[in-house]
Amino acid sequence: MSERARFYKERDRRTQEYSPAQEACFERPVTFCVASDAADSPRGQLTAAAALNMVVRIHRRVCLVCPDKPLLVPEALIPVQPAKHARLRDALVAMAAAIDPYITIDTAAPHEVDVGIAIGGDAAVAVPWYIGSEDGLVKLDTKPLRIDDKEGFSLGACLASCVAAASLFKLVVDRPVIPLCVSAWNMKEGADAEGGPSRFGPVDVGSVAMVGAGGVGGSLAYWLRQNGIRGEWRVIDGDCAELHNTNRSLDMVAADAGWPNLMPRPKAIVAAEQFGAVPQNLWFDQLDQEAFRPDLVLPLANERAVRNAVSQRGEPLLLHATTSPTWEAQLHRHIPDRDDCIMCRMPPSGGTVQLACSAVRVGGEGMPTDAALPFLSASAGFLVMNGLHRLMSGDLSRGDCNLWRLLYNSPRAFIRSAKCKCQTDCVGIPSRSIRSRVNAGRRWACLDSGS
């Protein structure tokens, strides 16, 4: 077996068991075009870099059509450390090679494009689909769309990159792609979609424990790298990176998993160094719970029943994201006495929500194998970013909805929201008196009426 074949067998082990036709999909050439307007815009470059980050974790032959422009957002090009006067196209190629050392990148513009997408409107080649954004509004269409030229972090750029990568993948596996107009801010679509704020400051929600640095946690770390943080963040994960993790974690490259002959790095360190957090290379149940009592806990993993353990602590707010077997990314809010608890929404014995990071079925009916899809973990990480910013603005705690879903496999709707309730015999939330004692002085205790 060649080194290339061994790499893909280990990295894509959840897809290698598919039929030859499905395996061939990942070898099928795709075109990824960065239009001139996107290449001239910091947000356009962020959209392009993030989308390509996802694309090269699936597709092995990519035609990259990108103008030779100065690099404006070096922080988006993990793990590349570009020179002061680096060029965008060169940096994108270097990033792709670090993620997949065996990828084939062709930078010559093709005469015809069968499977392709363009970031922005002024593309050098005609492609089937275009992605554009204006603040928090994201559009996908068969005609050119512009990318706004503002500086600063944009939730719209994050979601646009996820939609772009998902659309390209759906074209390859012959799933329908539909035009979209969605809001990365108010989580609605069509006429109800709002652009939201034009600029975002760093995430400032107090001290934070991010539990889990896999697909969802690593992707959140990547988005936090673009946005910045204030306050003390700790990333808690006792695992080391494996090659199959690089298939869906935006913060990881092949070298992090030890490829080809290095020592794998702890996931907590990989994620924490993305955005200046403190890594803790141990499991949540090994922590000294009294030594660090953060304002907010983000349970982004479920190994060792961590979500249930966090739920029983009586937190004033829990915010986390998951993916489902039906190509969904989901944001979950849990406020005591208003929302259901994690154990009712996600029973330990199994429920309707799949807790594995971005492991979803890509085969037809009866296919038993799961495949890791990076745009789902990226979307889940984005949803947590959305939730953090709405928490800061006060919008997250308004209304009854406590579940928001991005439906990548629906021919009709893309965004849905719902209100989940606890079972009648629920014992998953500590009493008000206990919560009042343990949450005294914590930043978000005001959200819990019992605290």
- Domain ranges across the chain: 3-192, 208-447
Q: Distance (Å, rounded) from C-alpha 162 to C-alpha 256?
A: 23
Q: Distance (Å, rounded) from C-alpha 53 to C-alpha 242?
A: 18
Q: Are strands 233-236 and 278-280 parallel, antiparallel or unpaired?
A: parallel
Q: What is the pLDDT of residue 8?
A: 93
Q: Distance (Å, rounded) from C-alpha 223 to C-alpha 275?
A: 9
Q: What is the pLDDT of residue 14?
A: 65
Tokens representing 216 are 């969802």
Q: What is the mean pLDDT of residues 395-423?
A: 91
pLDDT tens per residue across span 236-294 = 999 999 999 999 999 999 999 999 999 999 999 999 999 999 999 999 989 887 788 89
Q: Strand order of the sheet with strand 318-324?
A: 278-280, 233-236, 208-211, 296-299, 318-324, 328-334, 403-407, 415-418
Q: What is the pLDDT of residue 20?
A: 54
Residue whose structure tokens are 């944001």: 331
Calculate what percentage of the chain has a pLDDT beyond 90.
69
Q: What is the pLDDT of residue 308?
A: 81
Equal CATH topology for 3-192 and 208-447: yes
User: Any idea which fold 208-447 has?
Assistant: Rossmann fold (3.40.50)
Q: What is the mean pLDDT of residues 316-323?
A: 93
In this prediction the pTM is 0.93
pLDDT tens per residue across span 71-126 = 999 999 987 777 777 899 999 999 999 999 999 999 998 888 999 999 999 999 99
Out of 3.40.50.410, 3.40.50.300, 3.90.420.10, 3.40.50.720, the CATH code matching 3-192 is 3.40.50.720
N- to C-terminal Cα separation, the chain: 60
Residue whose structure tokens are 């009866």: 366
For the chain, how are helix, strand and coil distributed in percent, rounded to 5?
30, 20, 50
